[in-house]
Amino acid sequence: MKKKKINKVEIRSFNPTANVIFNIVIALFAISCVMPFFFVVMISLTQEASLAEMGYRFWPKEFSIEAYKYIFAGEMSSKIFRALGVTVFVTVLGTVVNTSMTSLYAYAISRSNFPFRKFFTVFALITMLFTPGMVATYLVVNNLLSLKDTIWALILPLALGPFNILVMRSFFIKTVPDSIIESARIDGATEMRIFRSIVLPLAVPGIATISLFAALGYWNDWFNALLYIQKDTLVPLQYLLMKIQNNLDFLARNAGMGAQIQGGLAALPSESARMAIVVVSTLPIALTYPFFQRYFVGGLTLGGVKE
């Protein structure tokens, strides 16, 4: 490893051989992360008979979109798109609610002049270490708040996360100097004006990071729908796909119930349909990740370089 000095700043650089080795290792790691998803996509595009005959392969011998036709055909299609709309709405609104509440809470406990900052910091930490349990949560959401069969039952249980609070607290402490806040107060700015006009623009990487965490949580959530949702119009995508998967498993386990069911199962794309469900549930949120990547990396690496 060589050391260079540029403008009195010491920079360490690896020799070309080490760079090649590290690039190869990183490339192999990246390929190992991408290949499982590519494998799933290829299986979802494989004909069911070919899967039964030749097993899983990276490149199908016979391509087929029967699995996607099964998911998006007829009445199933309307349910899928309705559930997708519910999930998108819950993800967008829930992310906004989660990010707003988390940022406000974290900003308050990050300021040294807030007298109750230690109490609320410990309070957030305790809720992260000790959870009330499913029964207590169900009683609060269902009986106390009366949120059953409402869209808020899918949003409010995930509206505030202690881990994100602690992440943003550290972010505000490192990126928002007290001198800037004091200068704004001298100029007559209110706390909300300071937060909106000064703090938020400085905290874009951190907000993008917790927004991605929140969006992933809302997008992948099906358990709250299982507990609180019975209306078909409020079923999110993940819960609907899980029910489709359970139906496929049920039919596969009970293939001997009669000739009629057996005849239906013969054309049922069970294995490829399972992989198609994974693609449908994963692809939309995966496509949005590149738009947050720059802020996400900046939020995670903040404070990693010592000036």
Is there a single domain that holds both residue 28 and residue 127?
Answer: no
Residues 6+ apart with CB under 8 A from 180: 198
End-to-end CA distance of the chain: 21
Using CA atoms, how far residue 226 sits from 97, 102, 104, 107, 217, in Å, is 22, 26, 30, 34, 15
Classify residue 60: in a domain, yes or no.
Answer: no
Is there a single domain that holds both residue 241 and residue 94?
Answer: yes
Tens digit of pLDDT for each residue in 215-255?
888 998 889 999 898 888 888 988 887 887 777 666 666 65
Closest by CA to 153, choosing from 85, 249, 231, is 231
Q: For 7-76, where are the E strands, in sequence order?
A: 9-13
* Cα separation, 273 vs 251, whole angstroms: 13
Classify residue 224: in a domain, yes or no.
Answer: yes
Closest by CA to 104, choosing from 122, 88, 120, is 120
The count of domains in the chain is 2
Report, in angstroms and rounded to the nearest whole number, the Rg of the chain calculated over CA atoms.
Answer: 25
3-state secondary structure of 4: strand
By residue count, the chain amounts to: 307
Tens digit of pLDDT for each residue in 129-187?
888 888 888 888 888 888 888 999 999 998 888 888 888 888 888 888 878 888 888 88
Is there a single domain that holds both residue 153 and residue 277?
Answer: yes
pLDDT band at 6 (very low <50, low <70, confident <90, very high): very low
CATH of the domain at 152: 1.10.3720.10
Is there a single domain that holds both residue 143 and residue 255?
Answer: yes
Is there a single domain that holds both residue 163 and residue 14?
Answer: no
pLDDT band at 102 (very low <50, low <70, confident <90, very high): very high
Q: Which domain holds residue 154?
A: 68-301
* Cα separation, 294 vs 122, whole angstroms: 31
Is there a single domain that holds both residue 149 and residue 258?
Answer: yes
11 C-beta neighbours (distance < 10 Å), count: 10
Model's pTM, two decimal places?
0.75
